[in-house]
A and B are shown apart, each in its own frame.
Chain A
Amino acid sequence: MVQQLTRKLLSGMALPAVALAAVLGIVSVPIQANAATLHMAWSQDATGLDPHKQTAFSSLRLLELIYEPLVRVDASLQIVPAIATSWQFSADGKELTLKLDPKAKFQNGATVTSADVKASFERILDEKTGAAARANFLSIASIDTPDPATVVFHLSQPDVPILTAMSDVNAAIVPASEIAAGSVGTKAIGSGPFKLDKWDPNAKEVLSANKDWTGGATGVDGIEISVLPDETAILAALRTKQIDFALLNDPLVATLVPKEASLQLNRVPVLAYHVLQLNPSRKPMTELKVRQAISCAIDRQEVLDTASLGEGKVTGPLTIPAMATDPSQLFCYKRDIEKAKQLMSEAGYADGFSATVIGATGEPPTAAAEAQVIQSQLAEIGVKLDIKMMELNVYVDAWLKGDFDMAVALNGGRADPYTMYNRYWTKTGNLQKVANYIDDTLDRQMQQGRAETDPARRKAIFADFEKHLAEVSPWIWLYTSYSYTAQQKNVSGFVPTPTGTLFSLSKVTIQQ
């Protein structure tokens, strides 16, 4: 009845509204997407152009279209060529040799050589650069360039995950001449599929196809990216065909896309994971049994269903499909309130305790809802949670200082478990102050996993690592969500991947 009335009202209003729209210069007729240029929108813009300094998700998505690393990971997280066409570890795992594509060219016309590779990695390793990815390359002792198309990394210790770390755009190869001129970050000159013609921060980016790209011709002549901060407005722009393609973060908006006949939603589980971080340096989370009780009291599926509309998958610590253990095999992944109460009692907290959980407003969009569901679930074992939502930077500041009892977080994943977790779960991890927990078993397993070159043995080592981590419960891993992109149905060729990269836009085509 209400729907009928609404439809009648809307149809009755259609004619005058369209007339008004036309008079006022509003786009009154849906415009056909231009086949030569892909019109795209996202809600958050890049924060800078230096590939070695930018770590924000939005920055990486832009820079991946302009710059290239030595290797890439594909949709199944296998290492594939980028600037390097082949690579080989020495038998002792302490030397990595890469052969470069002789046809690879920077957007200034210069050939990509081993000297550029050496200069790029030296820039990353130079503390003055402030490159966050430096931590992944500390095993590099020296770099040799026997010829322009060969580069040899000499490592101080066996470091298998270094190849995966090299697939990140934070390890992009930039021209040695730009490094010398100090212009990396002010001029974007990479060897990727697109050139940056214009960047108006927080408003618009204009990219044009790089005709010299060694990957072949791009499917579109260029990409125009509009920054529309509100995702409801992005959906509206898709509906009215103002844009062909969009990146979405909010599952509440993404799940509306399939209701539009002309639109297609692409979703893929990502490596990033939603987690409740406990602070094991603060009482009573110092007690193993209290942490385990919290793990047993949380119904992860309910958190996923309520906070994220079921858009995701319950996960253990490892989110890499080839490495992950079935979560049902992990400690207390089936909710067990009785066991939780017993553990609380054994730890001397039968009456529960009070704690504060912090979260960043809108980062991720589900943070507040996750905290609320967890609050109600933990109340059943007497844990009184006070929720404190903060602006992202304030949250990051508290998080980096380890200044919280508990924190709901969305932490980034990597294609290799060592690169993903060495920052937290090794004795020398840069983010030990955030994790506040380490034991000999975790540290030993991480070091073994780093040096092991046999894939099957490596998988077994990390399976044990995951099982142990779930048991000692410094954090409560909840779920992995989806990465969402939405597109008009006449757009084809986009391949979503677990890393969230938009690199396959290089082969996207638009049918008229």
Chain B
Amino acid sequence: MTYLLRRLAVFPLVLIGVSIVVFVAIRMVPGDAITAMLGTEAGLLTPAQREALAAYFGIDQPWFVQYGRWLAGLLHGNLGISSTYGKPVLEIILERFPLTLELALLSMIIALVVGVPAGVFAATHNEKLSDLGVRVAAMIGQSTPNFVLALLIIYTLSAGFGVLPAMGEFSPLWRDPLRNLGQLILPAITLGCAFAASVTRISRSAMLDVLSDDYVRTARSKGVSARGVIWRHALPNALIPVVTLSGIEFGYLLGGAVIVEQIYALPGLGRLVLDAILQRDYALVQGAVLFIAFNFMIVNLLVDLAYVALDPRIRLGEQ
């Protein structure tokens, strides 16, 4: 409990650090909301016109004044108003987040359902042809870029079979579950492939380590069946690195899978942040990145707690 409270107490400090870095970084990039809106036509503006637009976008004050205002808003639960959407930033983020969460969960399920059994299979068939096959498949899965796989899937389905998930308008899970699944399954497979490949490789190596441990040998000498040794004794201990990897990957996915969302036209967090950066929608960039950082910290905390559940010998916070 003390460990949990200590971790939670650090959250605000990390978030403030993240907010400062994002605030300064986005303003250091050349171009602003005016050039994002007008492009090269911004050159036709008179100084007075430029000042009027800067005031409209809230970028007419020094950056520290802007940051102070933003921080004051944040303390009141107000992340600001998006200049692109004309809506509160938090409202936009919460509209986009369910898609990103669902996509991350689906990808993780695909990765674990495929990756863990494949890793266990490869470890128990170590150095055999089937092990080699799994390792090669994992290598290919890990080294194929998301966008290549996504475009390949779209091309094959549309040109080969004349089918494609409905793109453009996203159907939330609670409104039309079947259409929702149809829209998300291909992006989830695209993301899940590389994720599954990583899980396969790490499961395999963790299982190989565990299978050579003394307690496994003892279990075998006690007459525990091969299946029982693998699934009851070895796998739980081999899962710790898998949980670590899955936690990190899941945290990344909660930040949005920019390229996959872009190709499949999914309005998730990743695309939201990308569009916000391109349009120099500062309030939206700051709010979204802060939200992503918060999610990442929560996931890390949950991963740490999962260690304890998986291995009772681990006591968090103890030296």
B305 to chain A: closest CB distance in Å? 34
Measured between beta carbons, the chain A residues less than 8 angstroms from B48 are 127-128
| Interface membership of B168, Cβ < 8 A | yes
| Interface membership of B154, Cβ < 8 A | yes
Compute how far the CA of A391 lies from the CA of B279 in the bound complex, rounded to whole angstroms. 11
Task: Decide: B154 and A233 in contact? CB cutoff 8 A.
Answer: yes
Q: A130-B53, A393-B29 are in contact. Are A242 and B265 (CB under 8 A)?
A: no
| Contact mask for chain A residues 219-242; partner B; CB cutoff 8 A; 1 contact, 0 none | 000001011111011011101101
Please choose the segment from B39-47, B123-131, B285-293 that sits at the chain A interface, where 4 or more of its residues have CB less than 8 A away.
Answer: B39-47
Task: Decide: B278 and A134 in contact? CB cutoff 8 A.
Answer: no
Q: A24-B185, A47-B37, A233-B265 are in contact. Are A13 and B162 (CB under 8 A)?
A: no
Task: Decide: B30 and A393 in contact? CB cutoff 8 A.
Answer: yes
B244 to chain A: closest CB distance in Å? 31
| Interface membership of A433, Cβ < 8 A | yes
Who on chain A is nearest to B42 by CB?
A400
| Interface membership of A76, Cβ < 8 A | no
Residues of B in contact with A, size category:
35 or more
Who on chain B is nearest to A237 by CB?
B167
Task: Decide: B44 and A228 in contact? CB cutoff 8 A.
Answer: no
| Interface membership of B137, Cβ < 8 A | no
A302 to chain B: closest CB distance in Å? 26
Task: Decide: B44 and A25 in contact? CB cutoff 8 A.
Answer: no
Who on chain B is nearest to A21 by CB?
B163
Compute how far the CA of A430 lies from the CA of B151 in the bound complex, rounded to whole angstroms. 43
| Interface membership of A129, Cβ < 8 A | yes
Residues facing B in A9-28 (CB within 8 A) are: 10, 13-14, 17-18, 21, 24-28
| Contact mask for chain B residues 99-136; partner A; CB cutoff 8 A; 1 contact, 0 none | 00000000000000000000000000000000000000
Task: Decide: B30 and A430 in contact? CB cutoff 8 A.
Answer: no
Compute how far the CA of A25 lies from the CA of B159 in the bound complex, rounded to whole angstroms. 19
| Contact mask for chain B residues 32-63; partner A; CB cutoff 8 A; 1 contact, 0 none | 10111111111111101110110010000000
| Interface membership of A354, Cβ < 8 A | no
| Interface membership of A54, Cβ < 8 A | yes
Contact of B40 among A26, A236, A411 (CB under 8 A): A411
Task: Decide: A56 and B31 in contact? CB cutoff 8 A.
Answer: no
| Contact mask for chain A residues 448-462; partner B; CB cutoff 8 A; 1 contact, 0 none | 000000000000000
Compute how far the CA of A21 lies from the CA of B267 in the bound complex, rounded to whole angstroms. 22
Task: Decide: A41 and B182 in contact? CB cutoff 8 A.
Answer: no
Contact of A394 among B29, B158, B159 (CB under 8 A): B29
Compute how far the CA of A48 lies from the CA of B29 in the bound complex, rounded to whole angstroms. 22
Compute how far the CA of A186 lies from the CA of B167 in the bound complex, rounded to whole angstroms. 27
Who on chain A is nearest to B37 by CB?
A47
Contact of B162 among A56, A239, A397 (CB under 8 A): A239
Please choose the segment from A62-70, A200-208, A319-327 that sits at the chain B interface, where 4 or more of its residues have CB less than 8 A away.
Answer: A200-208
Compute how far the CA of A130 lies from the CA of B263 in the bound complex, rounded to whole angstroms. 34
Task: Decide: B265 and A54 in contact? CB cutoff 8 A.
Answer: no
Task: Decide: A393 and B36 in contact? CB cutoff 8 A.
Answer: yes
Residues facing A in B236-275 (CB within 8 A) are: 262-265, 267, 271-272, 275
Who on chain B is nearest to A256 by CB?
B159
Task: Decide: B84 and A47 in contact? CB cutoff 8 A.
Answer: yes
B167 to chain A: closest CB distance in Å? 6
Measured between beta carbons, the chain B residues less than 8 angstroms from A242 are 164, 166-168
A32 to chain B: closest CB distance in Å? 13
Contact of A236 among B30, B86, B155 (CB under 8 A): B155
A168 to chain B: closest CB distance in Å? 11
Measured between beta carbons, the chain B residues less than 8 angstroms from A430 are 43-45
Compute how far the CA of A186 lies from the CA of B85 in the bound complex, rounded to whole angstroms. 10
| Interface membership of B160, Cβ < 8 A | yes
Measured between beta carbons, the chain B residues less than 8 angstroms from A130 are 34, 45, 49-50, 52-53, 56
Contact of B35 among A28, A131, A232, A397 (CB under 8 A): A397
Compute how far the CA of A24 lies from the CA of B182 in the bound complex, rounded to whole angstroms. 5
Compute how far the CA of A128 lies from the CA of B84 in the bound complex, rounded to whole angstroms. 19
Contact of A203 among B37, B39, B263, B267 (CB under 8 A): B267
| Interface membership of A398, Cβ < 8 A | yes
Compute how far the CA of A483 lies from the CA of B166 in the bound complex, rounded to whole angstroms. 26
| Interface membership of A434, Cβ < 8 A | yes
Task: Decide: B35 and A27 in contact? CB cutoff 8 A.
Answer: no
Compute how far the CA of A10 lies from the CA of B156 in the bound complex, rounded to whole angstroms. 8
Task: Decide: B168 and A132 in contact? CB cutoff 8 A.
Answer: no
B89 to chain A: closest CB distance in Å? 13
Compute how far the CA of A170 lies from the CA of B181 in the bound complex, rounded to whole angstroms. 42
Task: Decide: A27 and B267 in contact? CB cutoff 8 A.
Answer: no
Compute how far the CA of A479 lies from the CA of B260 in the bound complex, rounded to whole angstroms. 34
Residues facing B in A115-130 (CB within 8 A) are: 127-130
| Interface membership of A55, Cβ < 8 A | yes
Measured between beta carbons, the chain B residues less than 8 angstroms from A146 are none
| Interface membership of B157, Cβ < 8 A | yes
Who on chain A is nearest to B82 by CB?
A201
Residues facing B in A457-488 (CB within 8 A) are: none
Measured between beta carbons, the chain A residues less than 8 angstroms from B265 are 226-230, 233
A contacts, CB < 8 Å to B: 10, 13-14, 17-18, 21, 24-28, 30, 41, 47-48, 53-56, 127-135, 186, 200-204, 224, 226-230, 232-233, 235-237, 239-240, 242-243, 391-394, 396-400, 409, 411, 423, 430-431, 433-434
Q: Can you list 10 A-B contacts (CB < 8 A)?
A: A10-B160, A25-B182, A47-B37, A129-B52, A132-B45, A203-B170, A226-B169, A226-B265, A232-B263, A396-B40
The 6 closest A-B pairs by CB, nearest first: A226-B168, A393-B31, A25-B182, A236-B158, A397-B30, A25-B178
Contacts A24-B181, A201-B275, A230-B263 given; 10 further ones with Cβ under 8 A?
A: A10-B161, A17-B160, A18-B161, A47-B84, A127-B46, A204-B168, A226-B168, A232-B155, A394-B30, A397-B35
